Amino acid sequence: MKPQDVIAGKTSLWIFGYGSLVWKPDFKYKRSQVGYIQGYKRRFWHGDNFHRGNDELPGRVVTGSEVEESLKYLNVRETVCGGYVTKMVDFFPEGEEQQPPVQALVYIATTENALYLGPASSEAIGVQIAVCRGKTGHNLEYLLRLAEFMRSSCPHVEDHHLFSIEAAALSVASYLIAAQ
């Protein structure tokens, strides 16, 4: 789905963020709303050899002004550099159970992508995240900011995958600091 196809005939667009878009959107938006989509799970199965890693040590990341300007930016950030595809999904804003869902754009990593790393244990993913760094920063920062957002904005959500990887990565990081 191309940006021009998404915005055809629209004056606004919802974008569902589940990774760095929740704490670092890097584009203008009118409002932010916590909510959920159905049928997907956030997993650290996608490699990143630019923002949070490099070709030798790819980091792991999870697989949103003006609509056209934002979509052009996101198309480069998420699809050209990131290897994601776009889909329109039903977004259910938190606290609005009586309201119908709204259509939102979401970026999904696919197994066909060369940077798809697939499943691994929380410990293995934690080690990889603890040691990787890319042009945007440490992979650990990405993980910690996402976990912080989930704790503060979605305290009722139990995300065992995210929090077990956080614990493993922090354990590795503290070991690396102590070993210096």
Indicate if the pLDDT at residue 127 is higher than 90. yes
The whole-angstrom separation of Cα 103 and Cα 99 is 13
Q: Which segments within 26-156 are labelled E, that is strand? A: 35-36, 46-48, 59-61, 84-93, 102-109
Indicate if the pLDDT at residue 26 is higher than 90. no
37 HSE (CA, 13 A, CB side): 21
| Nearest residue to 172 (alpha-carbon basis) of 130, 144, 137 | 130
Specify the pLDDT at position 16.
92
What's the chain's average pLDDT?
86
Which residues are catalytic, by number? 78
Cβ atoms 49, 82 nearer than 8 A: no
Strands 14-15 vs 102-109: parallel, antiparallel or unpaired: parallel
Higher pLDDT, 64 or 34: 34
Higher pLDDT, 6 or 111: 111
- DSSP H or E run through 14: strand 14-15
pLDDT digits (tens, 9 = 90+) for 46-102: 999 999 999 999 999 997 354 455 566 666 655 555 567 888 999 999 886 778 899
Weakest-pLDDT range from 6-10, 55-59, 133-137: 6-10
Q: What is the CA radius of gyration of the chain?
A: 17
Q: Give the N- to C-terminal CA distance of the chain in Å, as an integer.
A: 48
Specify the pLDDT at position 131.
97
Measured CA to CA in angstroms, residue 37 lies from 69, 84, 116, 127 at distances of 24, 17, 22, 29
pLDDT bucket at 166, cuts 50 / 70 / 90 = very high
Higher pLDDT, 115 or 110: 115
Specify the pLDDT at position 4.
57
Specify the pLDDT at position 64.
32
